[in-house]
Structure 1
């Protein structure tokens, strides 16, 4: 492979007449998940004030994430059994029903039902869209499409709360959720036109993965509960979650109808090591994502808008870095980028802590740029390498597991950060000095997890070097 523009493809081609519809539908599918993951923090407090049920507010996000992860875990099987087009239409219908339920809910209990359906539908949509990338684009454009996916997440991290805030203040909190309805309808219409009706894989003696999905959902639910519990209870919940998730992986390996690749999370394979990188980096990054905006207000007296702007620097850096490396084709360059990501993340998290403790906003901003760049520089290469390293029969499972694992990493990271903060007295802190003292362990935990992710990335690249060139990833060119 070479790095010349012709071989690598051009951005104009990804967005041009031939592939524009496919690009839009895949990005829209991911955008629905990303936007709804971020809209809750802005619109839900107003909903709670109107409907009551303050004690249930955290469950609006928790149930969304739990069911999104469960949906993503079953996405590969849904695509194989139903075909990509039907699976996407069913998933979009589930999400649409959830959005309508939330937007018209008369109580918080009904809101939670809608949020669960939204999560289930969107988990399926995002994972199937991920799996469709190499089926709908030639190999030379696949890295750019993966880069587009990364940019969608970054834009949603910035734009989701902004759009939700404007709609909540100018119209209603219901509008912030109902805005997803036309997006889902447009998505479903484009699926009918663009997505091929893929050949179904015959499933002889197929097992419904109910037990495995229940283990996954229960594990993530235990993680979410850990962030709200006392330290001892949280430790027990996290240990229980680890056992449940490990049980799901082990049970899946012995199943005739697997949800995951056979080497999922096995350190002796490229795919297994790569999935650890995908899990650990959002676990580490959740430290800053959960606490930075709040700390800027508590320690430095920043208003919500200014604190949010500092956080948004990460999204801008993420997008810029993803664009900058989307042309990369050389495997050696990809290997360097894969290891650069978690290393830069560890440096960025340490930098945020240093800036907060020293009172230097410039250091915090540079660290935010480093964190955003860590994702933007490495994600596309990581995705392409994982998909190219997978056996053809496992590729759908690998693709579906990528966004699912990222969502699980965000949930686990938020819980671990919460446990660390509770242990160090963050909740009872009332002065800048007390806040500073209490968050040292939180950010050091994040940096430590990032370093473990770096070790997994190094292991992954070592296995890549041993295994030889990747399989070319993407559909063959078809000329009329």
Structure 2
């Protein structure tokens, strides 16, 4: 751990001659994902109508997410085998190919193929960019890099839907997919010039982790299917998903070529407890995000633009809070920020629910601000702590696990929200009262996930203060 005199840096240093190009590369990597998410979510409804593929619209997101998680899970191994530069260039090429396939599709099945390629490429790009942060920046600048990434997400949250709406309305939905292509080309050109192609230490008897990647993809697919199923079927699918994902973690620990650090999700280590926080916070946040825009339209008669703007308050709070805490020096304060993340998330979710039930717009907005602040204040220092706590030779795996685990959390949260809402009769609810009663379990379950994240965060910060031996317990 660096001492306090070296534990912070100036914003000017991030944009100075030494780091400006690297900062731009990492922001472009995030932009590929962020803008793709918001552009496609706006353009897809028009695409499926033109291609007569309304029944397949949910699979356009599901397949993208599943393959993004699979790509992220294998990213550390790709970086080790190919080197960061070649792995990023290859992933960017796959992502561009997927964007071109989507833009040129003549039927919905072709769009789904393109989305698979986009997800696979973007999963690798996001994970490797994350893993490069501790390699290319000193620890004092890492929180500021996360702050810049939060700004990219905020810009994408507002500019993505607006840009996609204009392109779709005045040109074509295909143009919204093509926007990603020049971004990917610029990203690839800068990677070629700047990113080193260092490889990890070669492993004897290395094997391709095909079975484990298949278990990850299948597990997340079952979670996604659960949100579309009847309650009893959904419960069975979720149990199957838990079995597959848990089995993959156990199998990976015994493998010669591992995808994850050996203490992943083991509560006796900083990394293990921290990854639970990384997983549970998106689970909780996604459960609210899935229904909030729709609820604002159903309960209060908001139009899509006003409902979307209300939901996007979260992104603004996330960005501003990430920037506000980027200069924190004291280790104790950083620990407090990590703990405050899931706490603010849980409080914000309950505030949003209270606002919806009592017709209080201000309370909903305040809740969204609290949720966004929870993510923004905790995310940077949570990630930095995981990177610093990684054992020698495990930093790539730990770093790549963070965005992959966040994606998995979003998928699991969306599925659990669907199961909770279906069990409560949300799909059949017609009156305002019935809708309000049906959404209570969704937000209560989301707040419960945030509470579990709080417990994991407390455990993690206590281990941070323990001796190195106790903070690195291996299962």
Structure 2 length-normalised TM: 0.96
Deviations 1:362-413 (A, max 9, x none): 1111111000000000000100100000112100000000000000000000
2:346 pairs with 1:346: yes
**TM-fit CA distance, 1:291:** 0.8
Alignment correspondent of 1:475: none
Alignment correspondent of 2:242: 242
Q: What SS does structure 1 have at the residue aligned with 2:321?
A: helix
Q: Which moved more, 1:16-25 or 1:395-404?
A: 16-25
Say whether the 8 Å CA contact 1:150–1:379 is kept in structure 2: no
**TM-fit CA distance, 1:151:** 2.9
Say whether the 8 Å CA contact 1:2–1:8 is kept in structure 2: no
CA distance, structure 2, for counterparts of residue 166 and residue 448 of structure 1: 39
Alignment correspondent of 1:111: 111
**TM-fit CA distance, 1:155:** 3.2
**TM-fit CA distance, 1:58:** 0.5
Alignment correspondent of 2:39: 39
Alignment correspondent of 1:477: none
Alignment correspondent of 1:476: none
**TM-fit CA distance, 1:431:** 1.6
CA distance, structure 1, for counterparts of residue 350 and residue 409 of structure 2: 19
Q: What SS does structure 2 have at the residue aligned with 1:261?
A: coil
Q: What SS does structure 1 have at the residue aligned with 2:287?
A: helix
Deviations 1:231-262 (A, max 9, x none): 00000001100001111111110110000000
Q: Which moved more, 1:340-349 or 1:131-140?
A: 131-140
Alignment correspondent of 2:436: 436
Say whether the 8 Å CA contact 1:3–1:327 is kept in structure 2: no
**TM-fit CA distance, 1:430:** 1.3
Q: What SS does structure 1 have at the residue aligned with 2:22?
A: helix
CA distance, structure 1, for counterparts of residue 252 and residue 222 of structure 2: 20
Summarize the Cα distance change of 1:105–1:200 in structure 2 as closer, same or farther, 3 Å threshold: same
**TM-fit CA distance, 1:147:** 2.2
Say whether the 8 Å CA contact 1:318–1:375 is kept in structure 2: yes
2:233 pairs with 1:233: yes
Say whether the 8 Å CA contact 1:71–1:119 is kept in structure 2: yes
Q: Which moved more, 1:111-120 or 1:155-164?
A: 155-164
Say whether the 8 Å CA contact 1:2–1:330 is kept in structure 2: no
Q: What SS does structure 1 have at the residue aligned with 2:159?
A: helix
CA distance, structure 2, for counterparts of residue 55 and residue 302 of structure 1: 26
Deviations 1:302-328 (A, max 9, x none): 111111111111111111000001111
2:372 pairs with 1:336: no
Alignment correspondent of 2:449: 449
Q: Which moved more, 1:51-60 or 1:157-166?
A: 157-166
Say whether the 8 Å CA contact 1:81–1:203 is kept in structure 2: no
Structure 2 gap ranges (5+): none
CA distance, structure 1, for counterparts of residue 236 and residue 153 of structure 2: 32
Structure 1 gap ranges (5+): 472-480
Alignment correspondent of 1:10: 10
Alignment correspondent of 2:167: 167
CA distance, structure 2, for counterparts of residue 270 and residue 147 of structure 1: 23
**Mapping for residues 396-407 of structure 1, pairs under 5 Å:** 396-407=396-407
CA distance, structure 1, for counterparts of residue 383 and residue 139 of structure 2: 13
**Mapping for residues 275-294 of structure 1, pairs under 5 Å:** 275-294=275-294
**Mapping for residues 53-452 of structure 1, pairs under 5 Å:** 53-452=53-452
Deviations 1:4-39 (A, max 9, x none): 7x8511112111222111001011112212222233
**TM-fit CA distance, 1:463:** 0.7
CA distance, structure 1, for counterparts of residue 419 and residue 158 of structure 2: 26
**TM-fit CA distance, 1:349:** 0.2
Q: What SS does structure 2 have at the residue aligned with 1:100?
A: helix
Equivalent pairs, count: 470
CA distance, structure 2, for counterparts of residue 302 and residue 189 of structure 1: 43
Please tell me the root mean square deviation across aligned C-alpha atoms, in Å.
1.6
Q: What SS does structure 1 have at the residue aligned with 2:236?
A: helix
Q: What SS does structure 2 have at the residue aligned with 1:17?
A: coil
Say whether the 8 Å CA contact 2:293–2:308 is kept in structure 1: yes
**TM-fit CA distance, 1:154:** 3.5
Say whether the 8 Å CA contact 1:40–1:60 is kept in structure 2: no
CA distance, structure 1, for counterparts of residue 269 and residue 386 of structure 2: 10
Structure 1 length-normalised TM: 0.95
Deviations 1:158-182 (A, max 9, x none): 3322222222112111011110000
